[in-house]
A and B are shown apart, each in its own frame.
Chain A
Amino acid sequence: MAEKIKVAVAGNPNVGKTTIFNALTGARQKIGNWPGVTVEKKEGTKKHKGHVLEIVDLPGTYSLSAYSADEVVARDYIIDEKPDVVVQVLDSTNLERNLYLTSQLLEMGTNLVLALNMSDRAEMRGDDIDIPRLESLLGVSAIKTVANEGGGIEALLDSIVSKTESNPPKPHEIGYGKTVEEKICALEDILGNDTELTKHYPARWMAVKLLEGDENVLSKLSSSNIEGKVQNYLSGFDNEEYEVEMADKRYEFIGALLPQVCTTCAEDVSPSDMVDKVVTNKYLGIPIFLSLMWGMFELTFALGTPFMGLIGKFFGWLGGAVAANIESAWLASLLGDGIIAGVCSVLLFVPNIFILFFAIALLENSGYMARAAFIMDKLMYKMGLQGKSFIPMLMGFGCSVPAIMATRTLEDEKDRLITMLVTPFMSCGARLPVYILLAGTFFGREAGSVIFGLYVLGILVAILSAKLFRTFIAKGQPSPFIMELPPYTRPSLVNSLLYMWNQGYLYLKKVGTVIIGGVMLVWVLAYFPQGVEYGSAESLIGSLGQLIEPLVAPLGFDWKIAVALIFGVVAKEIVVGSLGTLYGTGGGESLSPALLADPSFSPAIALGLMVFTLLYVPCFGAVAVIKKETGSWKWMFFQAAYSTAVAWVLALVTVLVANLVL
């Protein structure tokens, strides 16, 4: 009975695609990566009228011309997986540009449902869209939606289901003019010789793409025996001139269509523009941005504290219960000193990390993030990057790994390389536990400001490093900056919570795997050889720590810190986790007094340790993603060595200055 329907959601960036996807699927989402590439893939299912819809969220793209990795992913999914229905989300206030993608989807012969989103906004300014006419002209279904308020979602679901019951459409044809059409026909003839290929891809679509000089389609031909013929034919003329012309023809098609289906009322200055006037003001832009950033961290710290207290109490109780009820001394030590102490000191910060992700989601969903890129463009340009690079860097506040993946939206290779190399300096959520523990312990009420200072330091180091790399490594100019600014919206609570949960869940998963493993290793090293005092200088870990202590001794770090830093390379939370394990404190709350009591710790050392943790070699995950995305070991090792060197020098300066001042 339950029939499965494969649905793909496509659309331009900033049209509310994610909101529609969330509204369609609810909270049942799965986040993974697209096979082969590290672009985030979101899937969800929905039962509707006896059908099971399997919905996939495609990356937001302006077109399907394979300009960036996102577009290739979206296109390959549609071509290879052949979803039963493609839902394209459109911004009703800007149909012209949105229909460009529609024209490409039609050309691919997809079964298309249009979700005319933000239709309230269009109606408010007096636009009138003739839906039946649009449907009949394009041979698609169209539904008006207001995703923010859940409007039109039921109708959209109905329309998806009924679309599968109708006959598949015949690919829509756009006339490209006589000269181009002749070439398309000739190419179609050649392609027709390979039936295997044309069974898989529409011949006309392939011909069009080949004429546009699409490398990706060309490579699909490589296994076919007609490749030579196609190459031969294409080399007979200069196809560069057709490329832009064909894009123009698509707009001509849209231009002819639009007046028949809608009347638009252009607006002069929207409320959104008024807000932009202020937040991008020459003098106020950066102060307002910094104020909001500071507010974000203040909130993260302040609101997280009571929850930390609760979690700390729970683990304190758990540790006590374990110590009281387990006979075997070594097992009690493994569970109490090792796992509970270590995991607790990391789990303690889950509330903070959730709040931080929530705040980032609010900034992103309200549309402010794009403005931040604009405000920073000039500064970024001076430092050898462009404004768009700032968005991955901001995302780096959450986690470096998705941030480095997000550099894929940068088209220029050099821009991208530099952005990837400096993004790990942006202080990620995993480093937050270290700051909260140390700043909270040694700086009390000033902790929020100290933490904010660390984030600013991270930004400064990232920007200065970018300048350095641009001058010496990837010489040249940053590529020209252009970005669409979505209109401001009131951020949706549900979407922000979903984002928070999805990202926070990954953090929890990390605690459950890598971090437990890490702290267990620390415990083993601290417990053995048999008979030594736990976590003392005579244990294995003590010898290891003393071995590397000379390296960090100039910074004033003792061997315990050295060990914590070594294990922190696996994941930076482990710096706290292993301190928890080494000091053998059952609950994270009591790690603070243990640190305060240790004479080898002082506010200056704590500050130095925070700076070092901020800057030194990023965690395994980030390093691995740098290797994967740059495709070279060289850059990976370079990044690791460079960041550690910078960390060492700046931590030394910090400790020296702090000793003078504090």
Chain B
Amino acid sequence: MTSKIPLSMFPSGQACQICDVCAGKGLKRRLVEMGLTPESIIQPLGCNRGSLLISVNGSRYALGRGMANKIMVQPVYEEVPQFG
């Protein structure tokens, strides 16, 4: 149920939580410095041809699909969506 999936595969329009980043240490730290800290909640705002627009901790970020593939997320616990 709570399996980690890449952000890019996450059903759109639902909030989710960052669990992990599959990237080298440089990029990993960069994301943390930019404010995408582990366990932050991601609010999706929109999507444009595979690129995502998200809100994390009050800031807005634009992500390419490649980046969205590297960020592993899980549904937010309070409102676990129903999977099949």
Contact = CB atoms under 8 A, between A and B. Distances in A.
A contacting B, Cβ–Cβ less than 8 Å: yes
Interface string A53-75: 00000000011010100000000
A266 B58 contact: yes
A244 B64 contact: no
B30 to A, nearest CB: 6
A269 B64 CA distance: 21
Interface residues of B, number: 36
B59 A97 contact: yes
Contacts of B63: 480-482
Nearest to B40: A96
Interface of A: 62-63, 65, 67, 93-94, 96-97, 100, 240, 243-244, 247-248, 251, 264, 266-269, 272-273, 276-277, 280-282, 285, 370, 373-375, 377-378, 381, 386-387, 411, 477-487
B64 A386 contact: yes
- Identify which of B25, B48, B57 gathers the most chain A CB atoms within 10 Å of its CB: B48
Contacts of B57: 94, 96-97
Interface of B: 23, 25-35, 37-38, 43, 45-46, 48-51, 53, 55, 57-67, 69-70
Q: Chain B's interface: helix, strand, loop or mixed, by majority?
A: mixed
10 closest residue pairs by CB, A with B = A481-B64, A97-B35, A480-B67, A378-B49, A374-B62, A480-B66, A485-B60, A63-B33, A62-B33, A377-B51
B46 A67 contact: no
A482 B61 contact: yes
A481 B69 CA distance: 11
A246 to B, nearest CB: 9
Nearest to B24: A240
A117 to B, nearest CB: 14
B32 A251 contact: yes
Contacts of B37: 248, 251
B41 to A, nearest CB: 9
Contacts of B67: 480-482
Given A248-B32, A280-B46, A485 B61 contact: yes
A374 B32 contact: no
A487 B45 CA distance: 13
Contact of B59 (A100, A373, A386, A484): A484
B49 A244 contact: no
B27 A480 contact: yes
A478 B55 CA distance: 24
Nearest to A239: B25
A282 B63 CA distance: 15
A175 B69 CA distance: 33
